[in-house]
Structures are given as C-alpha cells and as structure tokens.
Amino acid sequence: MAEFDAIVVGSGITGGWAAKELTERGLKVLMIERGPELAHIAGYKNEWTSPWDLPFKGYGDPKAERTTKRVQSVARLNEWNADYFVDDEQELYETPAESNFQWVRGYHTGGRSIMWGRQSYRMAPDYFEANVRDGHGIDWPIRYKDLASWYDHVEEFIGVNGTIENMPILPDGKFQPSMGFNAGEQHFADLIKAHYRDRRLIPGRTANLTKPIGERGTCQYRNWCSRGCSFGAYFSTQSSTLPAAVATGRLTQLHNGIVESIEFDPQSRRATGVRIIDGETGQRSIRTARIVFLCAGAYDSVGILMRSVSESCPNGLGNSSDVLGRYIMDHAYKVGATSTIPGLDQAMYLGRKPNQVIIPRFVNIDRQETDFLRGYSFWGRSERMNWNRGGEIAGVGVGFKQALRKPGPWAITMGTVIEALPRRENRISINHDKLDKHGLPLTRIDLRYGDNEQKAARHAFDELMGMMKLLGGEILSANREIAPPGSSIHEMGGACMGHDPQASVVNAFNQLHEAPNLFVTDGSVMCSTGDRNPSLTYMALTARAAAAAVSMAQEGKL
Amino acid sequence: MTELSQLETDRRALLGAAGALAVLMMQPGWIAVARAQEGATRRDPRFAFADRLCDLTIPATDTPGASAAGVPAFVLMALDEGMHGLKPEMLDRVMARLDGDAQGMFLGKSVNVQLNLLTGLDRAAYASRPADPLGAEAAWRRIKSAIVAGYYASEVGASQELVYEPAAGTSENIVMPADYRARSNEGHGGAW
Ligand SMILES: Cc1cc2nc3c(=O)[nH]c(=O)nc-3n(C[C@H](O)[C@H](O)[C@H](O)COP(=O)(O)OP(=O)(O)OC[C@H]3O[C@@H](n4cnc5c(N)ncnc54)[C@H](O)[C@@H]3O)c2cc1C
Ligand code: SF4
C-alpha cells in the first residue's frame, strides 16, 4: 500500500504547480525538496536591507564571485539574493571546456521561482510545428491548441500583465492591465513602427500583479523581486501555488530530501516511489506513492532518471531508446547593445517598473528568408542613467556632485533570445566515476551551439544596430558574441516528448513511455525552445499533465 | 482593497520587527567591534590619501561628502578585496602620479591645489579611453567609480544626498520637475 497518492519531486515553478493541481483535485501529495525550507516573507531576510547595511554595500562578495558563486554569477546575482543560488563548490557537475555550460540553480523551497525574471510568454502555434517542418529534433506530440486553455488557466492564477497585440507569432493571453512603456520605450516603439512594417516593440508580459489576487497585493514598483516579495506581488511557489496546495489540507512537505532515483517495479512497469538521501544526515530511505511527478528542473530530472539504474533499466529509467539526456537546448543569449536616446530630457518616471519590452520574432515568419532556420526575438529595457554614470564621466567636486543629483540621459539596452536547434549530440550523461558530496555520480552537460545560432546572432546584431540607429544616440556598448550555454537559464530538453517510444522519452501527457504513472513535467520535456522565456509553457504542461493524471487514476488507467 | 490594507499592516509589522532586531544588534559589544574595525582602517597608512580623494571627488555641500559617509574605508576594502577588478596597487599609481604632478607630496598641498591637480588627472583620464590599462589614468577611473559606488550606497549618499525610496508604490510617466532629486535605489547593486 503506497503512503501517498502522489509524490512531487521538486518545489520550484513546476513542482509547485503539480502540488497545487494534484491536491486541489483530491490527491494526497508528498512534495520532496532537496534544499532547506525558505518560508514566504520570513525567509526573505534581505528584502528590506539597505545597501549600507550589507558588508559589500550591495555589490557582492568578490571572493564568492570567483569561488562559491563563480557559475551562479551569470544570473542576476547580487548581495541581496546571493544566498538563493547554489554553492558552486558544493553542488558539482561536469561540462567539457568546449561546452562550458553554466548551470544556474536554486535549491530550496520554490526553486528558481524566487529569483526568476517573471517574463511569461506563450509559444507560438508555429513553434510546435517547426521540428517536423525542418526536420530538426523530435516532432512535438502536441500542438498549440492542446495547451491554449492551460495557458489561460495558468495566466489567470499567476497574474500576468500584458497587452493584447493580435500577433500570430505571440499569442495573447488572459492579462492583467499592462505596466506599459516609459517615455524611452515609447519613443523607440514609435520609431520602429514608423520605419518597419514587419516588427513591433511591445511591453513585456510579466508575472507581477497590477491588480491584487486573493491574499496577493499589487506590485509596489521596487524592481528588486529576486530578494523575495512580502506583498506576494510576483508569482513564486511561495506566494501562489504553495499556499493553494497547503489550503487543501492534503499536502505534506519534506525538505532536505535529495531524490536519488525512482523506485521502479519491472513486473507492473510502474514507478512505486522514490529513493531519498537525507541532505543533512546522509541516510537513505524510500517513500512510496501511486503516481510520481518529476519536477526537479530539467537537468536534475534527467539526472534522476539516469541514476535510476536497475537490471531492467541498465542505462537509466526511460532510456531504452537512448534518447534520454539527448536534445538538450538553451537559448543563445547576450548578443545586444545599449544606446542613449536623445531628446527626452524632460521625461521622467516614478517607480521602478519590474518589466521589460520585447520585439517578437519577425524573421522567417511565413517563408524561409534567411541563411539560418527559425529565428530570434529581442528583449530590453529603457531607463534614465543613474548616479552609476559618475564613474564613466569626467568631473570631480561640487559641480560633479550636483550633476549626479539629477537623472542622466535616457538609454535603452536590447538583447536577443535566439532559438537553439535541437541536436541529438547535445546531451547529458552521468559520470559514475566521480561522486558529489551526497554520494551521487556527477551530471555531465555537453551543449554546444552550432552554425545556425551563430548565423542568427550575426543577423540579429545587424538588425538591432539598424533599429538603434533610428534613435540617433550614442552606442555605449555592443556585443556580438553568444554567451556560453546556460547563460539564459532556459535549459531545456533531455526527456523530450514524442509519439514514438523509440524516439522520445515521454508521451503527449508527459508520461514516461516506460512507466506511465511517472510524469515528467519540467523543461526537460521540451522538443524545441522557441525564442522566448519558457516557464509559462512548463507551468501549462504541468497543469495539463496533473489533470490528465488524476483522470487516468480515477479511470483506473494508472 | 481590504486585502491590500492588511498587507500594508503586515508589512509595517514586519518593518517594525526588523527595526527591533537592528536595535538588539546595536548592543555595546557590537558597537565595540565596529569601532575597532573603523580604527584599524583609519590607521591604515593609505587612509589619509583615500580620504582626500573621496572628499575632493564628492565634497560636503548641503549634505555630507564622501569622507563623512565612510567611503574611504569602502574604497580601501574594494581595493584589497579586488571588487570589480580593483587592485591595491591602483591607489599607489594614482598617488605617484599626483605626487609627481605636485612636485612634492600631494597631501601636503592646499585643498585648492589638490583639487586642481586631481581635476587635471581626471580630465586626462576621461579625454579618451586610457591607452595604458595599468597606468594612473586607468587606475583613477576605477577608483573614482568605487568612490561613486561607495557614496551612493552609503546612508548619507543614498538617503540624504539622493532620495532613498524602497517602495515607490506607483509607476507613472511624468514631466521632470525642476527640483527633482534622483532616486538612489536605481543604481544599487549595479555594475560600476
Ligand atoms: C535569474 C533568473 C531569471 C529567470 N528569468 C526567467 C524569466 O523571466 N522567464 C522564464 O520563463 N524563466 C526564467 N528563468 C528560468 C526559470 O526560473 C526556470 O525555467 C524555472 O524555475 C524552472 O522551473 P522548474 O520547476 O523546472 O525548476 P526550479 O524552479 O529550478 O525548481 C526545481 C526544484 O527541484 C529541486 N530539486 C532538484 N533536484 C532535486 C532532487 N534530486 N530531489 C529533490 N528536489 C530536487 C530544486 O531544489 C528546486 O527547488 C529565470 C531563472 C533565473 C535563475
Ligand atoms: S517590484 Fe513588485 S513584485 Fe517585485 S518585489 Fe517589489 S512589490 Fe514585489
């Protein structure tokens, strides 16, 4: 007799959603989180800390940036939120020099939902068809219409603010009132509209509330969300899905429980539970359930499946097709530029808008028109330069100090999110010869960009320069080089969805082909990346899979 | 609305609790440790020079300057800890250059002369990107950035010289009033 109806592995963005949906549908759920508890409000120790009260005045411990936070620093790490990111010297992984994958993680309640940038976009209908059309990767077993109502469901619950744009390449959603543009962004949007027919700059869509939802208050425009928000004004597990799951009275939480592997019964071909290592004592134990949801974050979920080795699954659970761990992807990132915006000296704003602007994809929309496949989008934000510019301009003394009392010139920074093609040779494997401090063999991540991403990067850079020229300002910085993979923190793939059990790992409802009561619902199941932030899609997939799991269980199909 | 007011109350309660904790931490033992650290920094032979650079760059006006805001200690720490690529020898290079320009000890000159000398170095450093990345001009740019970063992240610079606004509570586009004072929060934690 299983202890629980369902076990959810991980309490991050997808684990929180699985816990909420499963408990609300009547299941008794155990949510297992490898890290310590990070409580809503009480856990946000630095939320209100002033910079002068921090040892390095908010600029971060330089020694940590070279050691314990060496990889994590590629994220928006600062002295307020540094503790939310893992210790690179403790949580080891391998990556060959040619890949140099940057694995950014947060091991605690809520996972990366605490630190995420909250940008929330739907994949375009076309993106679900790209693989089958151009022959790269595995064909998605679902299409946009299968997810549309789940996107609605998720958006209404988490609260996404945005504008209705009627662009097929960026489906609209159920939005709260948009945070809109500031003067710099509006000016750039107007220039682009006047000069281009194929593109548009629009306000970002972000999971910050412009209207309260239940206990969650509206955004106070502080733009320091990654410290945690005691107003509950942005979506995190803590502010949103966890309270909903707890309210059902059917959720049990277990912290410091590192899931090592899935317990699998080869006779019934069912998962029976999980094997756990206690993160504090090192003791191993087994927890059982009728259904398991794997939501540990894309590459940790793949690692757990690969470590689930038994006589019947010598290469890991779900890997008889040798597809597990393959087709890993991450958006190619960091190509971009910053320009000043002249002519807006009197325009100012109040509040620090925790949002950005975007230019959705405009290349290769109806036909193939470039020397690379698929495309890219731009994201960015405009602000007046602040006192930080003092280090970049001449001057000392009273006049210098007076000048910094006022905001500086307007500037806008734009960067690209480039779709990365799914490639079979980009893969995760396990190095059984090296163990981490918990005794787990190391995860090895080998993801390399190809010619397609490089060509797209060059195209994007040239297009961006053309648009920025319209501003008539000074280009303050420009970068043509793609950053190492992992830098966009949109790692995906490794347990891709598909119809064919010989060519994919999970089916259209996220069930492992080899163990139908095991659902994998994080980014590992993605068959392609699109060119936009993916977490909204992970949430929609998770909610859809949870509903399916409960129906199947009720019908005795699991 | 009710929920929001409740949240506001909770937030105030939270701030109150944080304040109480701060008072608890300011017990005599804590103060003694802080004073000892400050004393050690002041005894650092580089302190007097860093202190002059700070106050020449951001002097006292109707609000205290960088020296009173504790920035010299921050700059020395930033140099020693290697924050943002700073290196301890950068201060030596700037000192050697200013002593050379002063044809004697820079620190022995009057404030006006010091200001003229520093203005000269500053102009040269910002006229174009310094050719020698290890030279005094490049070093001065880095140190000046640290002075600016330290000042506007200090309580004085952030909340007296500029406006410290933890929660704006609103997002609006406005025409900038003549007396508008920049919000220090906008640059906190950023790169410098
Ligand atoms: C700074 C930053 C900005 C970002 N901005 C955006 C954005 O704007 N938009 C967007 O869409 N995405 C963004 N992301 C990415 C987003 O955070 C992730 O896509 C999302 O959190 C993935 O959800 P998840 O549940 O799969 O993983 P996570 O949220 O990482 O949660 C995984 C959880 O599983 C736990 N876990 C891992 N292994 C085990 C194990 N063996 N046993 C038990 N528990 C385990 C972890 O501790 C963690 O709590 C950003 C990320 C960061 C860091
Ligand atoms: S900006 Fe808004 S959502 Fe972000 S921390 Fe502040 S109040 Fe919360």
Per-residue pLDDT of chain A (558 residues; tens, 9 = 90+): 899 999 999 999 999 999 999 999 999 999 999 999 999 999 999 999 999 999 999 999 999 999 999 999 999 789 999 999 999 999 999 999 999 999 999 999 999 999 999 999 999 999 999 999 999 999 999 999 999 999 999 999 999 999 999 999 999 999 999 999 999 999 999 999 999 999 999 999 999 999 999 999 999 999 999 999 999 999 999 999 999 999 999 999 999 999 999 999 999 999 999 999 999 999 999 999 999 999 999 999 999 999 999 999 999 999 999 999 999 999 999 999 999 999 999 999 999 999 999 999 999 999 999 999 999 999 999 999 999 999 999 999 999 999 999 999 999 999 999 999 999 999 999 999 999 999 999 999 999 999 999 999 999 999 999 999 999 999 999 999 999 999 999 999 999 999 999 999 999 999 999 999 999 999 999 999 999 999 999 999 999 999 999 999 999 999
CA distance B75 to B153: 12
B181/A contact by beta carbon, under 8 A = yes
Return the best residue to mutate from A20, A71, A103, A535 for the ligand 1 pocket (most ligand atoms within 8 A of CB): A535
Q: If we measure between CA atoms, which residue out of A494, A492, A500, A467 comes closest to residue A190? A: A467
Q: If we measure between CA atoms, which residue out of B101, B59, B172 comes closest to residue A349? A: B172
Task: Provide the terminal-to-terminal Cα distance of chain B, rounded to the nearest Å.
Answer: 41
At residue A541, φ and ψ (nearest 5 deg) are: -60, -40
> For residues A522 and A295, is the Cβ–Cβ distance under 8 A?
yes
From the list A78, A391, A400, the residue facing B192 with the nearest CB is: A391
Q: How many residues does chain A have?
A: 558
Q: Which residues of B touch A405 (CB under 8 A)?
A: 161-162, 181-182
CA distance A516 to A510: 9
From the list B171, B173, B181, the residue facing A221 with the nearest CB is: B171
> For residues A377 and A534, is the Cβ–Cβ distance under 8 A?
no
pLDDT, residue B8, reads 31
CA distance B134 to B87: 10
A1/B contact by beta carbon, under 8 A = no
Distance from CA of B13 to the nearest CA of A (A): 11
CA distance A363 to A376: 8
**Residue closest by Cα to atom 5 of ligand 2:** A225
B178/A contact by beta carbon, under 8 A = no
CA of A208 to the centre of ligand 2 (A): 7
* A118 in contact with ligand 1, CB cutoff 6 A: yes
User: Is B144 close to A350, i.e. CB distance below 8 A?
Assistant: no
Please give the number of the atom of ligand 1 that sits closest to the Cα of A523: 26
State the best of A63, A349, A396, A477 to mutate against chain B, taking most chain B CBs within 10 Å.
Answer: A396
Domains of chain A: 1-93+106-132+230-328+492-558 (3.50.50.60)
* A226 bridge partner residues: none
pLDDT, residue A499, reads 97
Cβ under 8 Å to B: A residues 329-368: 345-353
CA distance A240 to B120: 57
User: Is A406 close to B180, i.e. CB distance below 8 A?
Assistant: yes
CA distance B139 to B146: 11
The number of angstroms, rounded, from the C-alpha of A512 to the middle of its chain's C-alpha atoms is: 22
What SS3 class is residue A208?
strand
Cβ under 8 Å to A: B residues 89-128: 115, 118-119, 122-123, 125-127
Is it the case that residue B26 has pLDDT exceeding 60?
no
CA distance A334 to A482: 6
Sign of the alpha-carbon dihedral angle for A65, A69, A74, A80: negative
* A295 in contact with ligand 1, CB cutoff 6 A: yes
Instruction: Give the nearest chain A residue to B164 (CA atoms).
Output: A50
Ligand nearest to the CA of A305: 1
CA distance A130 to A133: 5
CA distance A171 to A180: 18
H or E segment to which residue B139 belongs: helix B136-152
> For residues A480 and A458, is the Cβ–Cβ distance under 8 A?
yes
CA of B170 to the centre of ligand 2 (A): 11
Please give the number of the atom of ligand 1 that sits closest to the Cα of A533: 11
Taking residues B4-13, report their average pLDDT. 30
Query: Half-sphere exposure of residue A505, counting CA atoms within 13 Å on the CB side?
Result: 31
Helix B28-43 × helix B71-81 angle, to 10°: 70
**Contacts for A433 with CB less than 8 Å, ≥ 6 apart:** A441
CA distance A515 to A505: 10
Q: Are strands A511-512 and A270-278 parallel, antiparallel or unpaired?
A: unpaired
At residue A156, φ and ψ (nearest 5 deg) are: -65, -35
This prediction has a pTM of 0.94
One-letter amino acid identity for A479?
A: N
pLDDT in tens, B32-83: 444 455 666 777 779 999 999 999 999 999 999 999 999 999 999 999 999 9
Cβ under 8 Å to B: A residues 37-66: 41, 48, 50-52, 56-63
Q: Which residues of B touch A387 (CB under 8 A)?
A: 148, 152, 162, 182, 184, 186-187
CA of A296 to the centre of ligand 1 (A): 8
Q: What is the DSSP string of A295-311?
A: -S-HHHHHHHHHH---S
Distance from CA of A10 to the nearest CA of B (A): 29
A393/B contact by beta carbon, under 8 A = yes
**Residue closest by Cα to atom 6 of ligand 2:** A222
Q: Which two tokens stand for residue B165?
A: 């606004």
H or E segment to which residue A191 belongs: helix A183-195
Q: Are strands A284-294 and A332-341 parallel, antiparallel or unpaired?
A: unpaired
**Contacts for A289 with CB less than 8 Å, ≥ 6 apart:** A2, A3, A4, A5, A6, A7, A30, A272, A273
CA distance A264 to A275: 10
> For residues A77 and A69, is the Cβ–Cβ distance under 8 A?
yes
pLDDT, residue B40, reads 60
From the list B15, B155, B182, the residue facing A386 with the nearest CB is: B182
> For residues B188 and B151, is the Cβ–Cβ distance under 8 A?
no
Distance from CA of B4 to the nearest CA of A (A): 6
Is it the case that residue B29 has pLDDT exceeding 60?
no
Instruction: Give the nearest chain A residue to B111 (CA atoms).
Output: A397
The number of angstroms, rounded, from the C-alpha of B172 to the middle of its chain's C-alpha atoms is: 29
At residue A224, φ and ψ (nearest 5 deg) are: -130, 40
Q: Which residues of A touch B182 (CB under 8 A)?
A: 386-387, 404-407
Return the best residue to mutate from A11, A21, A112, A538 for the ligand 1 pocket (most ligand atoms within 8 A of CB): A112
User: Is A396 close to B119, i.e. CB distance below 8 A?
Assistant: yes
Is it the case that residue B13 has pLDDT exceeding 90?
no
B139/A contact by beta carbon, under 8 A = no
B3/A contact by beta carbon, under 8 A = yes
Query: Half-sphere exposure of residue A464, counting CA atoms within 13 Å on the CB side?
Result: 32
pLDDT, residue B189, reads 87
pLDDT, residue B37, reads 54
Residue with tokens 């991403």: A453
pLDDT, residue B12, reads 30
CA of B10 to the centre of ligand 1 (A): 28
A402/B contact by beta carbon, under 8 A = yes
Instruction: Report DSSP state, residue B158.
Output: I
CA distance A255 to A32: 6
CA distance A189 to A181: 9
Helix A183-195 × helix A451-469 angle, to 10°: 100
* A275 in contact with ligand 1, CB cutoff 6 A: no
CA distance A330 to A103: 11
Q: How many residues does chain B have?
A: 192
CA of B191 to the centre of ligand 1 (A): 25
At residue A178, φ and ψ (nearest 5 deg) are: -70, 155
One-letter amino acid identity for B158?
A: A
Q: Compute the mean pLDDT over every residue in chain B, rounded to the nearest whole number.
A: 83
Q: What is the DSSP string of B14-55?
A: HHHHHHHHHHHHTSHHHHHHHHHHHHHHHHSTTHHHHHHHHH
Query: What does the longest C-alpha to C-alpha distance in chain A come to?
Result: 81
Q: What is the DSSP string of A375-404?
A: -EEEEEEEEE--GGGGGGS---SHHHHHHT
Query: Half-sphere exposure of residue A142, counting CA atoms within 13 Å on the CB side?
Result: 24
Residues with CB under 6 A from ligand 2: A 208, 219-225, 229, 231, 233-234, 354
Distance from CA of B12 to the nearest CA of A (A): 11
From the list A61, A398, A407, the residue facing B59 with the nearest CB is: A398
**Contacts for A217 with CB less than 8 Å, ≥ 6 apart:** A209, A231, A232, A233, B3, B4, B7, B8
* C-alpha torsion B4→B7→B8→B14, nearest 10: -170
From the list B58, B65, B168, the residue facing A220 with the nearest CB is: B168
Q: Which two tokens stand for residue B107?
A: 């620190």
pLDDT, residue B39, reads 60
Instruction: Give the nearest chain A residue to B177 (CA atoms).
Output: A346
Q: What is the DSSP string of A400-455?
A: HHHHTTS---EEEEEEEEEPPPP-TTSEEEEEEEEE-TTSPEEEEEE----HHHHH
> For residues B171 and A421, is the Cβ–Cβ distance under 8 A?
no
B169/A contact by beta carbon, under 8 A = yes
